[in-house]
């Protein structure tokens, strides 16, 4: 994807604090919970676990403030990542774009949303160029660090910044990689694996939307 997908990886020798280790373990546990059968029940609240999703106010790629209520009436496919992501994010957004093609007319009922976990670099202009490279249907959202932290908590998303050099932009972002399918009423329906093929993802979404 050109310059937007290039980012230096964290050097193996960089030592991380105890709190970062705890966050990493929490992220791993979340991935297991999201993708396991028991985790699915936990996420949907069947076992009394916390709900996924909630109210948010963020800035779209046109610089307009939007809330979760702006997306009522359509299904949402929500993904958290960042534009400097070297591989997982562009691969996932490519898959989302291909999935929209495979959904055909049903794609009109689905709004794919890409929320950055790197608001320092991902301005509305950067998000606009990045999402447009995959599909004009993908809505890019950014905000202040506090706003991003709030929506990440709502969706139980893990992310952490790791310094890779002396410059202000010398860092990478670790983050969980899960797609969240939300209903027209804003309620969480199901998690989808980000590494699924577009064909399988389209089939699962069609079933869940029916």
CATH of the domain at 149: 3.40.30.10
**13 in a structural domain:** no
**74 in a structural domain:** yes
**46 in a structural domain:** no
**23 in a structural domain:** no
**202 in a structural domain:** yes
Look up the domain containing 71 and give its range.
Answer: 52-209
Q: Mean of the pLDDT values across residues 185-208?
A: 96
**173 in a structural domain:** yes
Would you state the pLDDT for residue 17? 39
- Please count the structural domains in the chain: 1
Q: Beta 178-182 vs 75-81: how paired, if at all?
A: antiparallel
**28 in a structural domain:** no
Integer Cα distance of 199 and 87 in angstroms? 20
SS3 of 85, please? Answer: coil
How many alpha carbons fall within 13 Å on the CB side of residue 42?
A: 12
**116 in a structural domain:** yes
Greater model confidence, 14 or 166: 166
Q: Mean of the pLDDT values across residues 176-180?
A: 96
Phi then psi for residue 92, to 5 deg, are -65, -45
Q: Quick check: 160 pLDDT over 90? A: yes
């Amino acid at each position: 994807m050109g310059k937007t997908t290039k980012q230096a990886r964290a050097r193996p020798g960089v030592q991380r604090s105890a709190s970062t280790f705890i966050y990493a373990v929490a992220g791993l546990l979340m991935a297991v919970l999201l993708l396991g059968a028991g985790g699915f029940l936990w996420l949907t609240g069947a076992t009394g676990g916390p709900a996924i999703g909630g109210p948010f106010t963020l800035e779209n790629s046109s610089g307009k403030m939007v809330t979760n209520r702006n997306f009522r009436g359509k299904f949402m496919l929500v993904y958290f990542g960042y534009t400097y992501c070297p591989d997982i994010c562009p691969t996932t957004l490519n898959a989302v774009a291909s999935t929209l093609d495979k959904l055909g007319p049903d794609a009109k009922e689905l709004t794919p949303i890409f929320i950055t976990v790197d608001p320092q670099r991902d301005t509305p202009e950067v998000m606009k160029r990045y999402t447009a490279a995959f599909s004009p249907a993908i809505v890019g959202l950014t905000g202040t660090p506090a706003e991003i932290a709030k929506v990440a908590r709502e969706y139980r998303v893990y992310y952490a910044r790791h310094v890779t050099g002396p410059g202000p932009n010398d860092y990478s972002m670790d983050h969980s990689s899960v797609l969240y399918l939300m209903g027209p009423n804003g309620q969480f329906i199901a998690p989808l694996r980000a590494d699924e093929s577009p064909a399988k993802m389209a089939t699962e979404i069609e079933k869940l939307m029916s």
